[in-house]
Structure 1
């Protein structure tokens, strides 16, 4: 526990990491400001020093995770020609379902105040699924130029299909429920099979 009055560096990231551990271990019903600060080993009121309220914390947690995923996806076009197209698509699509993704989605859906803030942030340009989809489309176009994706393939539609499927599985998966990763791998394998373009 940090001594009172001593500044903690990287507070937001520390709280986000603690929240993700609580979500992964106990699910969205266990996520409270007290659970987060206890997990982070810091003062109970710290969340309220850095966020307007708990809905703001949840919204910023979700936006932070999507920003990280969008940054990861932005590097995808530069990897054209490496590994297989299927492997590269799996890496980015499955990242949406990894860690606490389903629990975060469940949590945001149960907190209308957080959901509204997330939607408003995305409308105002915060990176979200649209940014990830655009990176996947750019990646597929780069692979198309290399001849690893058929020239007749509609890369924008393929990207929408991959990210839309990942989003559907993210929103219909719950902690402790069936693992959706194999279904997503199957969809990507079908989309990238020879002759599917």
Structure 2
């Protein structure tokens, strides 16, 4: 355990990763401040030193994972002309799905204070599905310019369909379903971009 009063590098990420492990291993109902700090090997009160409470912590976890996914989507511009359009989009979509486990999403939606904090974060500019949709649209238009996507394809609608489906899968899948997300997104992308 880190000594009291000593700064912990990357504390937020350490706590977020610990929370994800607790939820994956023991289920959403077992997520408590103490379970998180024990898993992160931190002092018991450290979570409440940095967050107003568990609801704010859960909301900040969701906002952080959306921001990470949005950054990954924005990096698609460096992959124009590489691999296939479908493979590039699928990688980012799966990254988003993996970064927001169903149990964590469920916690953020079923805890009213966490849901409110998440909505406030989105309203104040934290990246969400709209940022990912814009990044997908920009990427698809760039692929059109190099001839890897038909000129007549509606990039904005393809991006909307992909983001909308991803949102649906995030909100409706359950941890025990074991649904093959890769296969589902692969079929969708085959319809949307022919890949």
Q: CA deviation at 1:43?
A: 1.0
Match of 2:166 in 1: 166
Counterpart of 1:136 in 2: which secondary structure?
helix
TM-score after normalising by structure 1 = 0.93
Once the two structures are superposed, what CA deviation does each residue of 1:123-167 show, in whole Å capped at 9, x if it has no partner? 111111111111000000000111111111110110010111011
Q: Paired residues, what number?
A: 194
The question of 1:190 aligning with 2:185 is answered no
Q: What pairs up with 1:1-197 in 2 under 5 angstroms?
A: 1-98=1-98, 100-181=100-181, 182-193=183-194
Q: CA deviation at 1:85?
A: 0.6
Runs of 4+ in structure 1 deviating by more than 4 angstroms, as ranges, are: none
TM-score after normalising by structure 2 = 0.94
Q: Measure, in 2, the Cα distance between the counterparts of 1:143 and 1:97.
A: 24
Q: CA deviation at 1:100?
A: 4.6
Counterpart of 2:177 in 1: which secondary structure?
coil
Q: CA deviation at 1:3?
A: 2.3
Q: CA deviation at 1:82?
A: 0.4
| Structure richer in helix, relative to its length | 2
Counterpart of 2:97 in 1: which secondary structure?
coil
* RMSD of equivalent CA atoms: 1.4
Structure 2 unaligned regions, length at least 5: none
Q: CA deviation at 1:13?
A: 1.4
Q: Measure, in 1, the Cα distance between the counterparts of 2:190 and 2:148.
A: 14
Q: CA deviation at 1:99?
A: 5.0
Q: CA deviation at 1:178?
A: 3.1
